[in-house]
Structure 1
């Protein structure tokens, strides 16, 4: 364990509202954009509101967006999440693109603002440092992409007739025999 993680809060991953079971539930509930209509450091926020806010609202129908003009105060963005957390970001002198990036970042977060050391339910005295093993781990890449059977490798498989194919063949022979016998009876 690294020394810098000794002083972090630790715990298990919590999945709010069984997120991911059945469908994804976005954790951002509400965004409040506060800005001044005339102050210079709110220019990026005003440009975002004029150009990108409607598109953002259409792409994220589960997020309520409030626009709150305030006189002679610095701009800010406040995100409120389903778990009750609030994430506040001062937006003074940010460009329109930076505002868009911060709001998109809020949409994918879950409201946890503190650094958090995740713990596992499984413990072992000898953890693996080699990574996850798969059947394709030590094979050459060209061999992973070949479709079998391959004539170049000399691994042509002799295709035998399957039981289903054999039964279909017998049924077709019986149908032919019954058709010929019916024709003979008519004559």
Structure 2
């Protein structure tokens, strides 16, 4: 019986066969007048074009709002949205935050319940007994 290759790969897991970036849109809002938007303005003028070329799968929207602190908002494929305030940040800080939103998981942060650690033994080493240890010669 001759061997034949699989014609299609049907998986629902991201990363098997192809990777789909969960971030679909990043919205940048800033103010031309306010001093808190200096870093955002410099980033938009000098570095946003390179980021857009490296990430063609992400839609980038830029809004200018008067008397408004700069904010980044990312929309993900599962419908979740994350926002970061970039007030008074340097252009390098803005770059780090936009990459953080691009690489972030779209899932909500889950709280781990605080369960006390319990053990059968009272200590890590166990219960001490005089019969444990080296034998003493008399």
Task: Say yes or no: TM over 0.5.
Answer: yes
**Cα displacement (A) at 1:115:** 3.3
1:111 equivalent to 2:111? Answer no
Pick closer, same or farther for the CA change 1:116–1:62 going to 2, 3 Å. farther
Q: How many residues align?
A: 101
**Cα displacement (A) at 1:75:** 0.8
Contact 1:30 1:79 in 2 (8 A): yes
Would you identify which runs of 4 or more consecutive aligned residues in structure 1 move more than 3 Å? none
- Quick check: which one's helix share is greater? 1
CA distance in 2, matches of 1:69, 1:115: 34
1:30 equivalent to 2:50? Answer no
Give the structure-2-normalised TM-score: 0.70
Q: Which runs of 5+ in 2 are unaligned?
A: 1-11, 113-138
**Cα displacement (A) at 1:79:** 0.4
Q: Which residue does 1:101 correspond to in 2?
A: 96
Superposed CA deviations along residues 16-57 of structure 1, whole A, max 9, x for unmatched, are x52101111111100000000110000000000001100000
Partner of 2:92, secondary structure, is helix
**Cα displacement (A) at 1:116:** 5.2
**Cα displacement (A) at 1:68:** 0.3
Q: Which residue does 1:82 correspond to in 2?
A: 77
Partner of 1:18, secondary structure, is coil
Partner of 2:24, secondary structure, is strand
Q: CA RMSD in A?
A: 1.2
How do residues 1-187 of structure 1 correspond to structure 2 at under 5 angstroms? Answer: 18-115=13-110
CA distance in 2, matches of 1:19, 1:111: 13
Structure of higher CA gyration radius: 1
Pick closer, same or farther for the CA change 1:62–1:116 going to 2, 3 Å. farther
**Cα displacement (A) at 1:110:** 2.2
Give the structure-1-normalised TM-score: 0.52
CA distance in 1, matches of 2:27, 2:71: 8
Q: Which runs of 5+ in 1 are unaligned?
A: 1-16, 118-187
Superposed CA deviations along residues 65-123 of structure 1, whole A, max 9, x for unmatched, are 00000001111000000111100111110110011001111111122241355xxxxxx
